[in-house]
Amino acid sequence: MRVAMYYNNRDVRLEEMPTPKIDPGELLVKVLTSGICGSDIMEWYRIKKAPLVLGHEIAGEIVKVGKDVKKYKKGDRVFVSHHIPCNTCHYCLSGHHTACETLHTTNYDPGGFAEYIRVPQLNVDRGVFILPNEVSFKEGTLIEPLACAVRGQRVAQLKPGQSVLIFGSGISGLLHLLLAKALGAGRIITTDISKYRLKAAREFGASAVINAKEDVPKHLKELNDNRLADLVIVCTGASSAFTQALQSVDRGGTVLFFAPAKPGINLSAPVNEFWRNEIKLMPSYGGSPYDITVAIELIRSGSVPVKKMITHKLSLKDTGLGFKLAAEAKECIKVIIEPHRD
């Protein structure tokens, strides 16, 4: 089968490797769509494991079923989660599924930028979800990133009517924007340095946008009745965004660190000020099976119209171009790869 082998962001090669063989408890899935995630282009994070086949936002069709698998059949349309929790450890039982060691060590074989993937038994047990008829394969690529946003806003306890400030208007920021709208947030303001992305945020329903090169807290107050934001969501790894986020949260508010910073970056927080004003700082990573279920329903119902976010659809041989487009972050939002497209 053909795969897109990642060496670095500027070197992604079309290569051949054997189609995986499955064991009795496993599935073979034909990958029909696979999204390029922001984490795929975090070179500092990926380069140490290169060469490898990336891709974890997939939707496809089951083409082979192990003899011990009873829940699924050949021809089923599915979304497959790459990381899955054990559901039995201390962290899972405490509700922190994305801190589970199993979740951090599971994956499918070889990766989503391939014509086929082998789904291991544990992933078959708790990481395969039937796509509703209303959800296309292309929309299925947005299930995983939306599930991450669902978890983020769930742990941040977003409430209807609250004001939200989102740093970064790329795919993650826009998913948070649409999700916050669906959950009944009040004013939702986004930032970015890209005019293209700020325009996209307006089109997706942002109450207002701010150029991130400007004084964000100052403009936020002007746009939000002289108040800072109840919930600030950081969807960019820019260190300036992390700093401005701490200056943009209102009393009793929450800062959600949704994106990671580069290695070695530390954040200095005004402890006494936050202590007096009951400000919470919290990170969010990944999504649990529950969050995936919610994301699927949000897409199925049309509550979060993700299809409009797909700006580029490319063949497997053009995966390198997809990485270039995503890394440059100019006039693109979501790039998806269709491995069986000519």
**Domain layout of the chain by residue ranges:** 2-147+287-338, 157-283
The confidence score (pLDDT) of residue 29 equals: 98
Contact (Cβ atoms closer than 8 angstroms) between residue 77 and residue 127: no
Q: What is the pTM of this model?
A: 0.96
Superfamily of domain 157-283: NAD(P)-binding Rossmann-like Domain (3.40.50.720)
Position 44 scores a pLDDT of: 84
256 φ, ψ (degrees, to nearest 5)? -105, 115
DSSP 331: S
Query: What does the chain come to in residues?
Result: 342
pLDDT of 45 reads 86
- If you ran DSSP here, which 8-state letter would residue 52 be given? B
Return all residues near 270 (Cβ < 8 A) that are at least 6 apart: 246
User: Which 8-state DSSP code applies to residue 79?
Assistant: E
CATH fold group of domain 2-147+287-338: Quinone Oxidoreductase; Chain A, domain 1 (3.90.180)
DSSP string, 249-268: EEEEEEEEE-SPPPTT----
Assigned token pair, 205: 């329903």
Best CA proximity match to 335, nearest among 315, 177, 49: 315
Structure tokens at 251: 């009393």
What pLDDT sits at residue 342? 80
Q: What is the pLDDT along the chain (342 residues), one digit of tens a residue?
A: 999 999 999 999 999 999 999 999 999 999 999 999 999 998 888 988 999 999 999 999 999 999 999 999 999 999 999 999 999 999 999 999 999 999 999 999 999 999 999 999 999 999 999 999 999 999 999 999 999 999 999 999 999 999 999 999 999 999 999 999 999 999 999 999 999 999 999 999 999 999 999 999 999 999 999 999 999 999 999 989 999 999 999 999 999 999 998 888 888 899 999 999 999 999 999 999 999 999 999 999 999 999 999 999 999 999 999 999 999 989 999 999 999 998
Listed in order, strand segments (DSSP E) in 107-248 are: 116-119, 128-130, 164-167, 188-192, 208-211, 229-234
In this predicted structure, what is the pLDDT of residue 265?
Answer: 85
Residue that has been written with the tokens 């795969």 in this structure: 3
